[in-house]
Amino acid sequence: MNETHLAALWSQLGPDARRRARIETRLFEWLDASETSLAGEWLDLLKVEPVRGLALAAAGALSLGLMTPVGWIMALVLG
């Protein structure tokens, strides 16, 4: 088997159009996700689902507000 023949045979190992498109879609979803800031994610959520987004933001703020004094007290007790 010569160089050209093996190269031609090896070219058949390439991905088909469907697989190539699938890789591209997933890859660019990952890239977009890796580059979106947390604030951007929240803004997108508010745009898509305003009620659920506000509810989640409120729950987050409430848990921060409650957990911070609990943390101080625990630190005082344990310290």
Partner 1 sequence: MIASAVTATPFPAPWPSSLLKALSTLFGADLEPLDEPAVLELIEQARAGDRAARQRLYRQHVNRVFRTVRGLLRTDAEAEDVTQDAMFTALTSLGRYSPRSGTPFAAWLTTIAVNTARRRFRRRRPELTATGELPDVPAVDTDVGDDIDSARQRAALLRAVAKLEPREREIVSLRYGAELNAAEIAAQLRMEAANVRKILERVRARLGERIDALMKSTGVSA
CB nearer to partner 1: pick between 27 and 62 = 27
CB nearer to partner 1: pick between 8 and 74 = 8
> Where along the sequence are the contacts to partner 1 (CB under 8 A)?
1-3, 5-7, 9-17, 19-24, 26-28, 30-31, 34
Contacts of 53 (CB under 8 A, 6+ apart): 42, 45, 46
CB nearer to partner 1: pick between 36 and 63 = 36
Q: Which residues of 25-35 are buried (b: 16+ CB within 10 A; e: fewer)?
A: eeeeeeeeeee
